Structure 1
Amino acid sequence: MTETVKAVCYKSKTLSNGEHPLMIRICKDGKKKYQSLGLSIKAEQWDFKTNQPKAKCPNRDRIILLINEKINEIQKVALDKRIAGKDFTATTLIESTTNSTANKTLGEYYLTYIQNLKAEKRIRYAGMFEVSYSSFIKFNKHLDIPFSDIDVAWLKRYELWMKEQNLSTSTISTRIRHLRAVFNLAIMEHSIKNDCYPFHSYKISKLNRQTTKRALSKQDIMKVMQYQGKSTMERLAIDVFIFSYLNAGINFIDIAKLKHSNIIENQLIYNREKTKKLISIPLQAETMDIIAKYKDNESPYIFPILSPFHQTEIQIANRLHKVLAKVNKYLKEIGEKLELPIPLTTYVARHSYATVLKRAGVSTSIISESLGHSSERVTQIYLDSFDNEQINDAMKNLL
């Protein structure tokens, strides 16, 4: 029996924006199979008699082109199978013209990325992607769109929209980098072509250059190290900060998960949570003093942040979120007492470590390796404010 291949406006499903998905419907042997085109349309914009968008439908020519391309592709596969004498069904016809990931919308891919992170037990990182996903949904109303809809103009509109909400350039940069990661996954799985990748032209690095200074001078670091905590929580906050600064800017999540088994022959050895890179750092006397201070024979952890009570990934993620908020609260209060030029947080220790080493003449490649960065380009973001300061100081010598 000859198959029929048509484009239909699938009214059985209504998206959050009131539109309906456009589908390719294949009928063969009395059975129907649908395949999404990754497009959606309002019912009043579709001619249900001709199965085409109406004359006044936005992007009508592009939609017709995509429909015809897909129908021709399916009909060609059917013809090839028929010539080869192979039997096929509506289902196998679709399977022959797509892979398991093709034609996924941006939103579907985004959710897949989040599920992958959760499967890797990167719960906190997955939570960050969920926040950015919600932000894009709020901006665009929905993400049931093809990747090709995201171009430079779209990204600039989103950037402007974020700035109008008084969000920091760091937050904007993070959320757009999450979107780029989803694009990279789709390209890696050959679901989209490289020519629809907007980040060739839209440079996230320009946002990073706008990031406010987050590093302290060595003199200010010494003020923090010499501060005597007035309470248990203040002392913990200071110790976490010092531990990070003296151990290659190790971030809070990695600090919290450190166990005494990570110490081997006076070396701190661990896999960075974010990048999974293996980090090995020689322990200094000040670091050993901090480790000894919190030694608890009933807990394998170096710091009293996590305990054997925290078993599940959700328990761990919730505990880390709660303690990090407290630590940063106390650090900011301490920074104000010390009249530091920037708000004090755990992340300042990481930036300060990189900047102090750079001032001392250490190469960017060595700093990058010790930080566990994926590339020197990421490290340079940490050092941009330092470079600008040096240029400003140098210019004073002109006159």
Structure 2
Amino acid sequence: MIIKIELPKGIMKGSATLGKLSITLDKAQADYLVTHTDYVPACLSTVATTLSEFVETLVEQLRTNNKERIRETYACAMNRFLQFRGGHDIALDAIGSQEVEAFESHLKQAGLTLNTVSFYMRVLRAIYNKAVRQLSITDKRPFDRVFTGYPRTPKRAVDVETITLVAGYRTTNADEALARDLFLFSFYTRGMSFVDIANLRRCDIRNGHLIYKRSKTGQELQVAWRPEMQTIVDRHPSLDGDHLLGVLNNDATLKLRRQYQQQQSKVNYHLKRLSMRLGLSKPLTMYVARHSWATIARGMDIPVSVISDSLGHHSEKTTQIYLKSIDADVIDRANEKLIAAVENNG
């Protein structure tokens, strides 16, 4: 009888005394069968597993599970951290608050926005926490004194007049026309994200509704199919007979993920140029379409709960982040009316 035991990567790199290994065999079977193992190596907590080794393991798992977006964020954060360290790797149990705070300071000095700095901190913290759980290293809580929140961003929404201006703009080339129409399509579909638009299938239109699942949350949403949406589909038909819009192509040699990245960059580039031509005070992006839909809906006194459901948010708290600046404007206008009323009575 041969019993094969696989040990975690890195355990046998050096000489170490393994902890107790107990195996319970079920003798009632014709052949011996391992039914339980209780393996707790004493040296596990002191194994010098490095950040890059651990991230490589996580990245491979994510690749197997087709979680490309998370895989890319893990790799991106690790590469940025190693770049800060001059390319030198670091043992996971050596990561402390001093190292993390120095990295945060480095990112700020490089001119990155607070939101971007927080992004790197959150991703690295997620990696570190996984290492604490999976490798039983001591949690030094190195991220307690760095910013990992979500800073308030400037208002991204535009008003109805701007949306109308964009809709009536006469584009100068096919790429600009696609960018403009995808922006409008997002607005018409209650702020659908670019990744969801790009991945729509023709079969997603059923019984007069566009039915799709959000890539971010997996939540299913339904949007009544409108003539304005169909007009955009007619202008940019499927390239492969499968996708709804001519954004991604199954028949192309380039992988869909790479096609998506190129198209996203191209769309945002042309939206920025379109903003300049229209003389807008802020550049248009696909995210602006989403914020604008929420803002305009709130201005029409649509309840926050309805807006939250329409956007596919699991919590109204997320929707309130979108609407915080709107509520401030409403309060300011109300205050102006109150002041005017006092002055008129004076």
Which TM-score applies when normalising by structure 1?
0.66
What is residue 7 of structure 1 aligned with on the other side?
A: none
Q: Deviations over 1:319-370 (max 9, x none)?
A: 1122222211111111112122211112211222222233333444443443
Task: Describe the shift of the 1:33–1:175 C-alpha distance in structure 2 as closer, same or farther (beyond 3 A).
Answer: closer
Partner AA of 2:116 in structure 1: T
What is residue 111 of structure 2 aligned with on the other side?
A: 166
RMSD over equivalenced CA pairs, Å: 3.7
Report the 3-state secondary structure (helix = DSSP H, G, I; strand = E; otherwise coil) of the residue aligned with 2:102: helix
**Larger deviation, residues 336-345 vs 105-114:** 105-114
State yes or no: 1:338 paired with 2:282: no
What is residue 249 of structure 1 aligned with on the other side?
A: 191
Task: Describe the shift of the 1:192–1:308 C-alpha distance in structure 2 as closer, same or farther (beyond 3 A).
Answer: same
Q: Deviations over 1:224-258 (max 9, x none)?
A: 12222222222111110011112132221221111
Task: Describe the shift of the 1:180–1:250 C-alpha distance in structure 2 as closer, same or farther (beyond 3 A).
Answer: farther
Report the 3-state secondary structure (helix = DSSP H, G, I; strand = E; otherwise coil) of the residue aligned with 1:280: strand
Of 212, 226, 249, which residue of structure 2 is paired with 1:284?
226
What is residue 47 of structure 1 aligned with on the other side?
A: none
Partner AA of 1:293 in structure 2: R
Between the aligned partners of 2:325 and 2:66, the Cα distance in structure 1 is 34
Identity over aligned residues, as a percent? 31
Q: Deviations over 1:173-217 (max 9, x none)?
A: 322232233245446658467x64456665533x422x3332222
What is residue 7 of structure 2 aligned with on the other side?
A: none
Report the 3-state secondary structure (helix = DSSP H, G, I; strand = E; otherwise coil) of the residue aligned with 1:208: coil
State yes or no: 1:146 paired with 2:92: yes
**Larger deviation, residues 345-354 vs 135-144:** 135-144
Report the 3-state secondary structure (helix = DSSP H, G, I; strand = E; otherwise coil) of the residue aligned with 2:293: helix
- Structure 1 segment 311-330 matched on structure 2, within 5 A: 315-330=255-270
Report the 3-state secondary structure (helix = DSSP H, G, I; strand = E; otherwise coil) of the residue aligned with 1:268: strand
Moved over 6 A (4+): none
Task: Describe the shift of the 1:159–1:374 C-alpha distance in structure 2 as closer, same or farther (beyond 3 A).
Answer: farther
- Structure 1 segment 255-294 matched on structure 2, within 5 A: 255-294=197-236
Of 99, 102, 108, which residue of structure 2 is paired with 1:157?
102
Partner AA of 2:189 in structure 1: N
Between the aligned partners of 1:270 and 1:128, the Cα distance in structure 2 is 25
Q: Is there any run of 5+ residues in structure 2 with no aligned partner, and where?
A: 1-9, 23-36, 340-346
State yes or no: 1:112 paired with 2:77: no
Q: Deviations over 1:41-80 (max 9, x none)?
A: xxxxxxxxxxxxxxxxxxxxxxxxxxxxxx9xx7xx55x9
State yes or no: 1:208 paired with 2:151: yes
Between the aligned partners of 1:98 and 1:261, the Cα distance in structure 2 is 54
Q: 1:147 Cα deviation (Å)?
A: 5.7
Which TM-score applies when normalising by structure 2?
0.75
Q: Deviations over 1:259-307 (max 9, x none)?
A: 1011111222222223333232222331122223333485211211112
- Structure 1 segment 32-43 matched on structure 2, within 5 A: 34=15
Report the 3-state secondary structure (helix = DSSP H, G, I; strand = E; otherwise coil) of the residue aligned with 1:279: strand
> For the Cα contact (< 8 Å) 1:332–1:344, is it kept in 2?
yes
> For the Cα contact (< 8 Å) 1:229–1:235, is it kept in 2?
yes
Partner AA of 1:350 in structure 2: R
